[in-house]
Chain A
Amino acid sequence: MKLKIAKMFCGLPRYVVVIIFAVVSLTPLIWVWSSALKTHMEIFINPFAPPSKLHIDNLTKAWNVGRFSKYTLNSVIITVPTAAGVIFLSSLAGYAFGKLQFYGRDILFYVSLFGLTLPFQAVMIPLYYLMLDIGIISTYPAVILPAIGFGLPFGTFMMRAFFKSIPTEVMDAARVDGCSDLQIFLKIMLPLALPAISTLAVLQSLWTWNELLIPLLFLQREELHPLTLGLMFFQGRYTQDYGLIFAGATIMSLPIVGFYLLLHRHFIKGITAGTIK
């Protein structure tokens, strides 16, 4: 008994440290969410107290008057095709680089890694004038296509690693059974790659959802703005109305945090794999 208590005390500072940092990470976010439910006066008078009663006016006002319904829809319209495009194209390339033999394969793979860390700034100027010239600036594809292009290096890298880990015997067996090369890919390899595909889907959706610079350049019409731009300009318009700004921040962050809590294993696995494996 004595030993147990002594052990508990030894462990105590450790728990103090990990809990302090958990509070540091969590508090600002919870604070923004709860302030979205306060009246304007309450935010100033009692900044730290929880809301006295649930006051949803800010949220409804941001959603309707602040056009957050529109921004949310735009974010979805941009994110879904981008993630789908990255998954589809990266699976093709990742499979080719990981499992097929062809001339120049390794060099081409290194070429595709070149974009892995390339800053978007290195391409944005010619891309801007290209979009202007071909007349697709301020349309959804003007954001979706470059976002797919910039998602491909990571996606290809990740899918290649996964396909490489599948034993080649699986392919040989399928070939013996009379599968064509396309059938092997579609019917055998893709279903096996589902875990990697879902991790990629989660990460790519997150990145596209939060993307600021690409839509800032290529979507100049307000009615096409995704949440990032919507919230940024909204903050500029209503600088003093903190309740409303917090409501906007809540609309943007609550779904993504919920999504994260539901699928945190995928997020963590994908980020770890992308960095050190």
Chain B
Amino acid sequence: MTRSRYWRNNLIGYSFIFFPFLVYVIFVLYPVFGTLQLSFTNWDGFERVKHFVGMANYVRMWKDPFFLKSLYHNLIWILIGTSLPIVIGLPLAVILWSGVKGFQVFRTIYFMPLVLSSVVVGIIWGWIYNPVFGIANEFLRMIGLNSLTRAWLGDTSTALPALIIAAAWQYYGFCVIIFLAGLQNVDISLIDAAKIDGANSLQRFFYVIVPQMRNVLTMIILYTLIGGFKVFDLVFVTTRGGPAGATELLATYLFKQAFQINYVGYAAAIAIVLAFFVIVVSVLFIRLRERIA
């Protein structure tokens, strides 16, 4: 390649990416550094001068019981919120894949809750969990378990799991779709061979299909992990972190710190920690995706 050709190519390349990068830098990259900078200050959002406080915000976090509690709730969210949709989604995908009439219809239905706004999901589940006439309690009364009825979202011991179930309802269809895509690459001759060797359908599922789905499984888990750290909307529209902080998560906690009590510097530090968790998981995710593709 001649020298002039080389510069010409660079010029063309950069002119194509100029505007996309401009928008990306202004609204995504640059503010990340802004957050990082704020996280070393004790700025309250009004003062003209931003006082540098070093690592104080980061140190404070690990002594802040509300922060630690929020982090703990995120970990629970990740644990249940990841396993539940997978435990439901994987067998369901295998059943659909093994030949069910109307396969397309079921796939379309399972995926449908995913297109709903979290506000709508919040309304639906707020109604299901309603203490007076919600179907959760209605159902318990019907089967004679009156003692178990409660205000699901108003009770500190049930609010978090109740929200996770609502999230899983919306999300499990996503797992079905991704598992179905992964199942296209499963070697059917191995399943036939296992059948001839006398493996029953459960054994075929656990010893032949699941091992071949390992990569897709890991990917879904990483994807849900990222989502589990970021979750905000559903909690914000239903309980806002309540009752008594029982559903407080990193994202809702930092929102309050930043915009309700104006501990801007501290909120920025929490945001950086949150981003750090997400980025670590994402790097694993992208590496894995490249290995598979």
Contacts and interface: CB of A to CB of B under 8 A. Distances in A.
Contacts of A217: 259
A223 B60 CA distance: 40
Contacts of A102: 9-10, 12-14
A119 B230 contact: yes
A14 B95 contact: yes
Interface stretch (B155-163, B176-184, B192-200): B176-184
Majority-rule SS of B interface residues: helix
Interface in A128-145: 128-130, 145
Interface in B131-175: 133, 135, 138, 169, 173-174
A14 B219 contact: no
Interface residues of B, number: 93
Given A256-B116, A276-B219, A100 B13 contact: yes
A100 B16 contact: yes
Interface string A162-176: 000000000000000
Contacts, number: 264
A261 interface: yes
A104 to B, nearest CB: 9
Nearest to B98: A14
Interface in B268-293: 268, 271-272, 274-275, 278-279, 281-282, 285-286, 289, 292-293
Nearest to B173: A25
Contact of A253 (B45, B92, B111, B116): B116
A34 B189 CA distance: 48
B272 A249 contact: no
Contact of A212 (B107, B117, B181, B216): B117
Interface string A205-224: 01001101100110000000
B12 A181 contact: yes
A44 B27 contact: no
Given A14-B100, A22-B110, A150 B264 contact: no
A264 B119 CA distance: 22
Interface stretch (B32-40, B62-70, B204-212): B32-40
Query: Looking at chain A, what size class is its interface with the partner chain?
Result: 35 or more
A252 B117 contact: yes
Majority-rule SS of A interface residues: helix
B24 A115 contact: yes
Nearest to A231: B119
Contact of B258 (A85, A108, A124): A124
A201 interface: no
A231 B35 contact: no
Nearest to A260: B115
Contact of B16 (A25, A44, A95, A111): A95
9 contacts: A18-B95, A28-B124, A32-B124, A93-B20, A108-B17, A124-B31, A212-B118, A216-B236, A277-B293
Interface of A: 14-15, 17-18, 21-22, 24-26, 28-29, 31-32, 44, 47-48, 85, 89-90, 92-93, 95-97, 100-103, 105, 108, 111-119, 121-130, 145-146, 148-150, 152-153, 156, 181, 185, 206, 209-210, 212-213, 216-217, 227-228, 231-232, 235, 242, 245-246, 249, 252-253, 256-257, 259-261, 264, 267-268, 271-272, 275-277
